[in-house]
Amino acid sequence: MLELQAVNVAYGEARALCDISMQVKPGELLCVVGPNGAGKTTLVNTLAGILRAKSGRILMEGRDITRLAPHRFCEAGIALVPEGRRLFAGMTVLENLEIGSLLPSAKAKRRETLEEVLQLFPALKPKLAAPAGELSGGQQQMVAIGRALMARPRLLLLDEPSLGLSPLVVAAMFDAIRKISAGGITIVLVEQNVVMAMRISHRACVLELSRIVAEGDPDELMKRPEIRQAYLGV
């Protein structure tokens, strides 16, 4: 589905991703974990076309998208739920959702996709006419995910969806991500909440200091002493 070949990304002289090579299989839910500053946001922003790789190749469904213009990444079937949600606070929930479906292919199925989004997040139904900025943090995160789904992506990138949410809301958020995955959408999930992310993911990838230091089955990774120490504190 997605393949990165020796991808390097830098902010000026500062390297943020070093020789990242990885694959994501169709339908897979891959979580990317790692400490602050490891390069997780840089990775998803590069996959969303917001940042450019300095070298290396990114293939989506076999097609080289490395040098594609940023707005073409959406056409290639990729949608990002950015860190901090980035909603249009003064616009209604419905308007925020509809912004996600501007591409002709998504627009043609707008009503159907909206139904699916509201089925996933029923709490948004009575809020469609409310300004997005008035919603709770959890509901705003639902809108951000819903907006990305409105584009009918084949690859969904989620950057820290549980950030700043209460434990109960976090659990509901992970449940929703699991459902999206069960629906067949391939997902790359960046998370600080390592335990919960590992629990719902098919495969995990650990980034440290701009490099992949471990990857594999989440249960196996969670058994490794160095991972337990770094992420569970035991």
Q: Which residues bind ligand ATP (CB under 6 A)?
A: 11, 14, 16, 34, 36-42
- Closest approach, Cβ 189 to ligand ATP, in A, equals 13
Rounded to 10 deg, the angle between the 110-120 and 167-182 helix axes is 140
120/117 Cα distance (integer angstroms): 5
The torsion region of residue 209 among left (phi > 0), alpha (psi -120 to 50) and beta comes to left
- Closest approach, Cβ 45 to ligand ATP, in A, equals 7
Q: Residue 28 or residue 208: which is nearer to ligand ATP going by CB? A: 208
Neighbours of 105 (CB within 10 A): 11
DSSP 3-state of 111: helix
105/75 Cα distance (integer angstroms): 9
203/67 Cα distance (integer angstroms): 27
Q: Residue 43 or residue 124: which is nearer to ligand ATP going by CB? A: 43
**Which residues have C-beta within 8 Å of that of residue 86, sequence separation ≥ 6?**
144
- Closest approach, Cβ 26 to ligand ATP, in A, equals 25
- Closest approach, Cβ 104 to ligand ATP, in A, equals 33
Q: Residue 40 or residue 203: which is nearer to ligand ATP going by CB? A: 40
Q: Residue 40 or residue 85: which is nearer to ligand ATP going by CB? A: 40
- Closest approach, Cβ 10 to ligand ATP, in A, equals 9
Q: Residue 120 or residue 205: which is nearer to ligand ATP going by CB? A: 205
- Closest approach, Cβ 194 to ligand ATP, in A, equals 12
Q: Residue 32 or residue 177: which is nearer to ligand ATP going by CB? A: 32
**Which residues have C-beta within 8 Å of that of residue 122, sequence separation ≥ 6?**
none
Cβ atoms of 215 and 206 closer than 8 Å? yes
